[in-house]
């Protein structure tokens, strides 16, 4: 059990024993860490009892607020009944029920659920399935993947290979497998100064050219539908997503939707692909799948891909992949409870109101002198800070402007996490209109204070 002395020792032990993700530990060790001790609804509480609004849904995953009684109860009941059992050679009730529920919700054509435990593993699995699918079909040439410039698909080797980020991954370059990149519309729009319609047309032309030229060697295209999250919240028009899907179909290339960040209501529909009325061949789910409370992920596959793996054992067509905690019953039970709440709370209707509101109120932030851009889709917002907004000249990296903003916001009772100098707002779907207005007002005030405008 954890005792009260453990809580008082926590800061010291953190500095003595822990290594934090995506954190310059020298900087971390020089600072007094904020210890989050409990959470309730849309709020986090530190060890001193201070309350903070969870402005990025605990890194993009919380859906219905923290400690939702229905989810807590589902976890408790499941933990007392069957905590864990393997999916290798056995099955369990929550994993089965959830699979059926996910397939009923997912775009038509997706028929099979393969579980894992993080977004990155869901991506690895999709890549391996796509890669092997072509081999099983007798096409040995299709071994390469194509992805969008700046896309992020997780931090394991395969996910990094398709989602390469210069800042995060350059030191691993020799370890990564080669993949092709295409430029999404924003690259033409912002860096080549094209008008929105021209940028869309150029991006689709480029995609059509690169995909058809390389069709014989391309296994699949992977894309974060509608919003490239970790790239800095870069959205693309629905027409671009539809165009990519069509080009993949035309060239027989598998279409892999990475809905790890955008899935489960974030963009205004349960899955972002719905807005483009497209059905991917493979879909990766994570983050919000469990309501944001337990590590769970899933890769959804079409029946055609699934069937390619069927055969006699001795043909070795089995998909030889699995993780110890695949299909964990407690995580699946939490996920089922979360899906129930979407229905009981009429979440997607509430979202319409929230999205309309946030779309209007972020305009104030857009007007600030050191804000180069505000990009929003659903309840995902990226606010790009720049020294010179008009020319998009960034602040020097060592000014740490994104970090300054989140530290100031923290003093005002809001927890955020930036992407460089892009301030991200991604509140839980359970946010109220008042909370949303408060969040945006405080962030506006904070940006003004930090940028001196």
User: Taking the C-alpha atoms of 126, 129, 130 and 135 in order, what is their torsion angle to the nearest 10 degrees?
Assistant: 170
Q: What is the DSSP string of 373-417?
A: EEEEETTEEEEEE-SBTTTTBPPPGGG-HHHHHHHHHHHTTEE--
SS3 for 332-356 is: HHHHHHHHHHHHHCCHHHHHHHHHH
Closest listed residue to residue 92, CA positions, set 81, 104, 101: 81
Which range, of 149-157, 170-178, 395-403, 444-452, touches ligand PLP by CB under 6 A? 149-157
Residues 111-140 close enough to bind ligand PLP by CB under 6 A: 118-120, 123
| Edge-to-edge order in the sheet of strand 110-116 | 110-116, 297-302, 282-285, 254-258, 218-223, 144-148, 180-182
Per CB under 6 A, does 54 bind ligand PLP? no
Per CB under 6 A, does 158 bind ligand PLP? no
Cβ proximity to ligand PLP, 225 vs 402, nearer residue: 225
Per CB under 6 A, does 161 bind ligand PLP? no
Binding flags for ligand PLP, 266-295, as an x/- string (CB under 6 A):
--------------------xx--------
Binding flags for ligand PLP, 78-117, as an x/- string (CB under 6 A):
----------------------------------------
Closest listed residue to residue 54, CA positions, set 362, 432, 422: 432
Cβ proximity to ligand PLP, 125 vs 355, nearer residue: 125
Question: Count of residues binding ligand PLP (CB under 6 A)?
Answer: 15
Which residue sits closest to ligand PLP, CB atoms considered?
119
Closest distance of CB 226 from ligand PLP, Å: 11
User: Taking the C-alpha atoms of 429, 432, 438 and 444 in order, what is their torsion angle to the nearest 10 degrees?
Assistant: 30
- Contact present, 264 and 375 (Cβ < 8 Å): no
Cβ proximity to ligand PLP, 322 vs 413, nearer residue: 322
Closest distance of CB 298 from ligand PLP, Å: 12
Closest listed residue to residue 152, CA positions, set 270, 275, 267, 262: 262
Closest listed residue to residue 299, CA positions, set 354, 384, 198, 220: 220
Residues 217-246 close enough to bind ligand PLP by CB under 6 A: 224, 229-230
Give the whole-angstrom CA distance, residue 279 versus residue 269.
Answer: 14
Closest distance of CB 287 from ligand PLP, Å: 6
Among positions 133, 152, 188, 395, the unique one binding ligand PLP when judged by CB under 6 A? 152
Per CB under 6 A, does 184 bind ligand PLP? no
- Contact present, 280 and 257 (Cβ < 8 Å): yes
Closest distance of CB 153 from ligand PLP, Å: 5
Among positions 110, 261, 365, 381, the unique one binding ligand PLP when judged by CB under 6 A? 261
Among positions 200, 260, 282, 383, the unique one binding ligand PLP when judged by CB under 6 A? 260
In the complex, the residues that contact ligand PLP under the rule CB under 6 A are 118-120, 123, 152-154, 224, 229-230, 258, 260-261, 286-287
């Amino acid at each position: 059990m954890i005792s009260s002395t453990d809580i008082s020792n926590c800061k010291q032990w953190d500095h003595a024993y822990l290594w934090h993700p995506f954190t310059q530990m020298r900087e971390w060790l020089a600072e007094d860490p904020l210890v989050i001790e409990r959470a309730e609804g849309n709020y986090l509480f530190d060890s001193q009892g201070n309350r903070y609004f969870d402005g990025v849904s605990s890194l993009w995953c919380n859906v219905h607020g923290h400690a939702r009684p229905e989810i807590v109860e589902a976890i408790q009941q499941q933990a007392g009944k069957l905590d864990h059992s393997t999916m290798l050679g056995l099955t369990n009730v929550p994993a089965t029920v959830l699979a059926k529920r996910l397939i009923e919700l997912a775009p038509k054509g997706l028929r099979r659920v393969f579980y894992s435990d993080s977004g990155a593993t869901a991506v690895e699995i999709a890549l391996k399935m796509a890669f092997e699918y072509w081999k099983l079909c007798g096409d040995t040439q299709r071994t390469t993947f194509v992805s969008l410039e700046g896309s992020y698909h997780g931090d394991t080797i395969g996910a990094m290979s398709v989602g390469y980020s210069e800042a995060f991954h350059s030191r691993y370059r020799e370890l990564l497998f080669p993949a092709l990149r295409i430029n999404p519309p924003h690259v033409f729009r912002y860096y080549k100064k094209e008008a929105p319609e021209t940028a869309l047309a150029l991006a689709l032309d480029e995609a059509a050219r690169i995909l058809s030229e390389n069709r014989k060697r391309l296994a699949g295209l992977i894309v974060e539908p509608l919003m490239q999250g970790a790239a800095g919240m870069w959205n693309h028009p629905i027409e671009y997503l539809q165009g990519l899907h069509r080009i993949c179909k035309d060239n027989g290339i598998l279409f892999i939707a990475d809905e790890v960040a955008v899935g489960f209501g974030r963009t205004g529909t349960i899955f972002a692909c719905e807005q483009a009325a497209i059905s991917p061949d493979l879909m990766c789910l994570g983050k919000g799948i469990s309501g944001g409370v337990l590590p769970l992920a899933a890769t959804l596959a079409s029946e055609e891909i699934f069937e390619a793996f069927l055969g006699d054992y001795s043909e070795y067509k089995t998909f030889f992949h699995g993780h110890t905690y695949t299909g964990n019953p407690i995580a699946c039970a939490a996920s089922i409870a979360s899906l129930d709440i979407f229905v009981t709370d009429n979440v997607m209707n509430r979202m319409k109101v929230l999205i309309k509101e946030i779309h209007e109120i972020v305009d104030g932030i857009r007007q600030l002198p050191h804000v180069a851009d505000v990009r929003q889709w659903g309840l995902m917002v990226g606010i790009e800070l720049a020294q010179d907004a008009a020319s998009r000249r960034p602040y020097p990296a060592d000014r740490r402007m994104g970090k300054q903003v989140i530290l100031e916001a923290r003093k005002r009772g809001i927890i955020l996490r930036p992407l460089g100098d892009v301030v991200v707002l991604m509140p839980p779907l359970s946010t109220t209109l008042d909370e949303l207005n408060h969040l945006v007002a405080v962030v506006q005030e904070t940006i003004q204070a930090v940028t001196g405008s």
